[in-house]
């Protein structure tokens, strides 16, 4: 908001000094150009509001893709003391463990160019997408769904969707500790029974990409990536189960605020002490939803491999489908970070923000540990996406966090108005992108003009040193809800 004072303290860091009920200052990573857009909605005010959370340490942080969200800004990061802090569902979001996975292949774009329309058709036919999409796999029993919510990716692997190598290259090995299906409501369980392996709608997508440019040749080579190679990006989350879990928790947290005498400037930041019964129940349910999301992306990856084999008529060996990494960007996790020179156990809320641990961190798989955690930043469906790696500086400045995407410039309603009467398919085709989608309205909401240029966002985190650019990917075909 215009009345909130922001002090530029470095090339791309802005600070909001502590005032009133703020327990810590705020910090936003952005260029002056991006800041001009950021100031147009209430996201800056939300950074201030988050700084009021009991137990928050360091800073209320925001990445350059920041825009308004429920309670927390999307692009917000906050760490709270594990004993004295609170957990707030608004700091995780409705789509718990919405995340991104990058898959590489042995194929070159030149080998598949002529069959791209067939490949897009096969992916669109085999992976259900759109609002309420279901039916990718047979309906689960409730008992089986509870196993899935507890075991995460290992459930998918045990049921024939992928291999142990996939778990190794998934954040948290695809299973968040502390999951307890008893913490889920019947409605949340009911909504999740038929949606495993489905893309959903909104900004979720599956994309066939070309590796366009390499910035760090040694890191790219270590990951087996080269210019001209075909890759796949999958972006989705916990579907109806996660959304219902957040809805359920917000009702509980509203009452908990009164019980524990917590006052926040925005009721959308409803929260409860982490050690409280309400806090523990939410964390157990959130872990279930996170595990569901990892299974969802794992199953979609397996179905996508089948679609490639069918459309391209190649062998699995020729295809070489291989998971590079899977990251989540709507989650809270217990981590140890140095705060004011002292190591502290904290719960880090990342809402529209990605973990970016530096080289050597034990949470990173051994096969890529020396590189830093892979970080996947999708852009809009017409331009490009990026692979980065985490850095030591992120560990010192942002609790090992970086951005998560391009960030919206327009509301969904504005984007629909702008797209009215335009041939959106033709516009994407001119950018070299084949699109398959369910709803014309949703498609219009997600057009490139509705988003910031992700290159501008990624340049900020690269210049700030909180993650490092490795590879740029260009979309060839996109599947949307």
Instruction: Cite the active site residues.
Output: 404
- Cα distance between the two ends of the chain: 34
CA separation for the pair 239, 102 (Å, rounded): 20
Cβ atoms 100, 169 nearer than 8 A:
no
Identify the bridge partners of residue 14 per DSSP, sorted by sequence position.
8, 28
CA-wise closest residue to 63 among 470, 404, 308, 440:
404
Pairing of strands 342-351, 330-339: antiparallel
CA separation for the pair 295, 221 (Å, rounded): 28
Query: Phi and psi of 455, rounded to 5°?
Result: -60, -35
CA separation for the pair 330, 375 (Å, rounded): 14
Query: Phi and psi of 173, rounded to 5°?
Result: 55, 25
- Give Cα 357 distance to the centre of its chain: 15
CA separation for the pair 82, 98 (Å, rounded): 23
CA separation for the pair 117, 438 (Å, rounded): 16
Half-sphere exposure of 217 (CA within 13 A, CB side): 0
- Give Cα 44 distance to the centre of its chain: 21
């Amino acid at each position: 908001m215009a009345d909130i004072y922001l002090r530029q303290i470095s090339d791309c860091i802005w600070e909001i000094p502590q005032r009133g009920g703020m327990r810590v200052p705020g910090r936003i990573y952005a260029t002056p150009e991006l800041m001009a857009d950021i100031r147009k909605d209430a996201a800056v005010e939300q950074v201030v509001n988050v700084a009021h959370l009991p137990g928050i340490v360091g800073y209320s942080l925001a990445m350059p893709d920041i825009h308004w969200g429920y309670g927390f800004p999307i692009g917000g990061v906050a760490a709270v003391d594990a004993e004295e802090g609170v957990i707030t569902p608004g700091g995780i979001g409705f789509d718990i463990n919405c995340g991104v996975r990058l898959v590489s292949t042995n194929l070159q774009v030149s080998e598949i160019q002529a069959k791209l329309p067939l490949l897009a058709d096969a992916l669109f036919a085999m992976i259900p997408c759109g609002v309420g999409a279901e039916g990718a796999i047979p309906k689960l029993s409730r008992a089986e769904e509870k196993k899935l919510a507890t075991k995460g990716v290992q459930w998918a692997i045990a049921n024939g969707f992928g291999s142990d190598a996939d778990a190794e290259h998934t954040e948290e090995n695809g299973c968040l500790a502390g999951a307890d299906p008893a913490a889920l409501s019947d409605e949340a369980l009911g909504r999740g029974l038929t949606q495993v392996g489905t893309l959903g709608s909104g900004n979720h997508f599956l994309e066939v990409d070309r590796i366009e440019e390499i910035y760090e040749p040694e890191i790219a080579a270590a990951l087996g990536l080269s210019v001209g190679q075909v890759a796949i990006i999958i972006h989705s989350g916990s579907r109806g189960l996660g959304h219902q879990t957040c809805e359920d928790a917000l009702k509980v947290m509203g009452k908990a605020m009164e019980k524990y005498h917590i006052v926040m400037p925005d009721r959308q930041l409803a929260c409860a002490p982490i050690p409280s019964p309400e806090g523990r129940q939410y964390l157990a349910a959130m872990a279930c939803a996170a595990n569901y999301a990892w299974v969802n992306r794992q199953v979609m990856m397996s179905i996508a491999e089948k679609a490639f084999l069918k459309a391209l008529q190649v062998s699995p060996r020729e295809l070489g489908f291989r998971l590079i990494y899977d990251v989540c960007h709507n989650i809270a996790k217990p981590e140890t970070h140095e705060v004011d020179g002292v190591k502290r156990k904290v719960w880090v809320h990342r809402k529209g923000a990605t973990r970016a641990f530096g080289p050597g961190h034990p949470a990173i798989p051994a096969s890529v540990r020396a590189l830093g955690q892979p970080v996947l930043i999708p852009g809009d469906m017409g331009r490009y996406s990026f692979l980065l790696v985490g850095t030591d500086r992120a560990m010192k400045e942002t609790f090992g966090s970086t951005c998560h995407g391009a960030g919206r410039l327009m509301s969904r309603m504005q984007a629909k108005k702008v797209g009215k009467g335009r041939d959106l398919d033709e516009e994407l085709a001119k950018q070299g992108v084949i699109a398959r989608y369910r709803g014309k309205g949703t498609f219009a909401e997600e057009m490139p003009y509705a988003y910031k240029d992700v290159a501008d966002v990624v340049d900020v985190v690269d210049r700030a040193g909180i993650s490092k650019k490795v590879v740029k990917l260009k979309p060839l075909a996109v599947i949307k809800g």
